[in-house]
Structure 1
Amino acid sequence: MNERISLPAVLREAGRVHPRSETIVVANGSADGTPKIAARLGARVLYAAEPLGHDVGRRLGAQAAKGTVLLFIDADMVIPAKELRPFVEAVCSGVDVALNGYTGPVGKQEAHPVVLAKHVLNAWLSRPDLQGASLTAVPHALSRRVLENIGPGALEIPPLAQTMAIVRGWNIQAVHTVPVGKINPPRRKKGRSDPLASLVVGDHLEATQWLIAQRGDRGGYEDLGRLRDKVR
Structure 2
Amino acid sequence: MTARFHGKYRNARHPKVSVIIPVKNEVRTLRRVIHQAYQVHPHTEVVVVANGSTDGSKQLARRMGARVYSYGHSLGLDVGRSIGARKARGRILLFTDGDIIIPAYQLRKLVRAVDNGVDVALNRYSGRPVHKIPLVKHALNLLISRPDLKGASLTTIPHALSRKAVRRIGTRKLAVPPKAHAVAAASGLRMKAVEFIEVGRTNPKKSHHQNRQRIESLIIGDHLEALGAYIRRKGQRGRHTDMGRRRGYAR
More deviation, 173-182/8-17: 173-182
1:86-128: per-residue Cα shift (whole Å, max 9, x none)? 001111111100000003343xxxx322111100111111111
Q: Which position in structure 1 is the counterpart of 2:8?
A: none
Q: Which position in structure 2 is the counterpart of 1:37?
A: 60
Q: Which position in structure 1 is the counterpart of 2:147?
A: 128
What amino acid is the match of 1:150?
A: I
Matched, 1:187 2:210: no
Q: Secondary structure at the match of 2:50?
A: strand
Question: Which of 53, 56, 66 is the aligned partner of 2:89?
Answer: 66
Kindly state the Cα deviation for residue 226 of structure 1 after the two structures are TM-superposed. Answer: 2.8
Matched, 1:201 2:216: no
Q: Secondary structure at the match of 2:184?
A: helix
What amino acid is the match of 1:176?
A: E
Q: Which position in structure 2 is the counterpart of 1:162?
A: 181
Kindly state the Cα deviation for residue 162 of structure 1 after the two structures are TM-superposed. Answer: 1.1
Q: Secondary structure at the match of 2:226?
A: helix
Distance 2:31 2:152 in 1: 28
Q: TM-score, normalised by structure 2?
A: 0.87
Q: Secondary structure at the match of 2:193?
A: strand
What amino acid is the match of 1:8?
A: R
More deviation, 59-68/212-221: 212-221
Kindly state the Cα deviation for residue 196 of structure 1 after the two structures are TM-superposed. Answer: 0.4
Matched, 1:116 2:135: yes
Question: Which of 26, 34, 49 is the aligned partner of 1:3?
Answer: 26
Distance 1:219 1:148 in 2: 23
Question: Which of 199, 203, 212 is the aligned partner of 2:231?
Answer: 212
1:168-216: per-residue Cα shift (whole Å, max 9, x none)? 111110111101122222431338x701011111111001111122222
1:1-30: per-residue Cα shift (whole Å, max 9, x none)? 110100001011111111101001111111
Q: Secondary structure at the match of 2:139?
A: helix
Distance 1:197 1:90 in 2: 30
What amino acid is the match of 2:112?
A: E
Q: Secondary structure at the match of 1:222?
A: coil
State the Cα RMSD in Å: 1.4
Distance 2:58 2:134 in 1: 33
What amino acid is the match of 1:51?
A: S
Q: Which position in structure 1 is the counterpart of 2:69?
A: 46
Matched, 1:229 2:242: no
Structure 2 stretches of 5 or more lacking a match? 1-23
Question: Which of 142, 164, 170 is the aligned partner of 1:145?
Answer: 164
Q: Secondary structure at the match of 1:12?
A: helix
Report how many residues are paired: 227
Distance 1:3 1:90 in 2: 29
What amino acid is the match of 1:155?
A: L
Q: Secondary structure at the match of 2:31?
A: helix
